[in-house]
Amino acid sequence: MADFRLALTSGVTLEPWDDPASVSPDRPSRVNPRPEHIHKRHVGTSGVQVAVTATVDGVAGELDANLGGELFSAAFLETPTLPPPALSSPAGQSSIQRFTPGAAGHYTLQIDRPNHGGVIVHVDVDS
C-alpha cells in the first residue's frame, strides 16, 4: 500500500458518473443502483494539460531533494491512442507529473515511488 496520496490538481473537473439505463427510465443506473451515493469521475479536455500531484507526509509536490533518493516515476497503463502522451515534471519535482491528452478517451496513469508503493489515477477525456 502506498504511503503517499495523489490528487489531480489541474486540467480536470470532478463530475457525476451517470449511466442511466436505456431501456426504461424507472430502472437503476448500470453504474450505480443506489442514486443516493453518486459515483464521480475526473473529466479532462483534449489538448488541455493535466497535472497530478503527490503528497508525501502532508507536503504536496515535495521536492526531490527531500525524498531521500526515492523519486517518483510514472507510466501510462491505458491510453486511447499510441503513442501515449509525453509525461513531464518541473525540474527537481518528480512528485508532480503532467501530460496533455491528444485524443478523447480513457487514460490510466500509475505513479510509483520505490519502497513506498504506487497509485493509479483515471481520467476520461472529452474532445
**What pLDDT does residue 64 have?**
98
The answer to whether 7 and 122 are in contact (CB under 8 A) is no
The answer to whether 83 and 75 are in contact (CB under 8 A) is no
Cell numbers describing residue 82: 499510441
Q: What is the DSSP annotation of 12-62?
A: EEEEE-----SS-TTSPPSS-S-TTS--EEEEEETTS-EEEEEEETTEET-
* Closest C-alpha among 57, 41, 37 to residue 8: 41
The answer to whether 45 and 12 are in contact (CB under 8 A) is no
Domains of the chain (ranges plus CATH)?
4-20+33-126 (2.60.40.1080)
Per-residue pLDDT of the chain (127 residues; tens, 9 = 90+): 899 999 999 999 999 887 766 666 666 666 777 778 888 999 999 999 999 999 999 999 999 999 999 999 999 999 999 999 999 999 999 999 999 999 999 999 999 999 999 999 999 999 8
Burial of 81 (0-12, 13-18, 19+ CB in 10 A): exposed
**What pLDDT does residue 20 have?**
64
φ, ψ at 68 (rounded to 5°) = 60, 35
**What pLDDT does residue 37 have?**
81
**What pLDDT does residue 28 have?**
62
Has this prediction a pTM greater than 0.85? yes
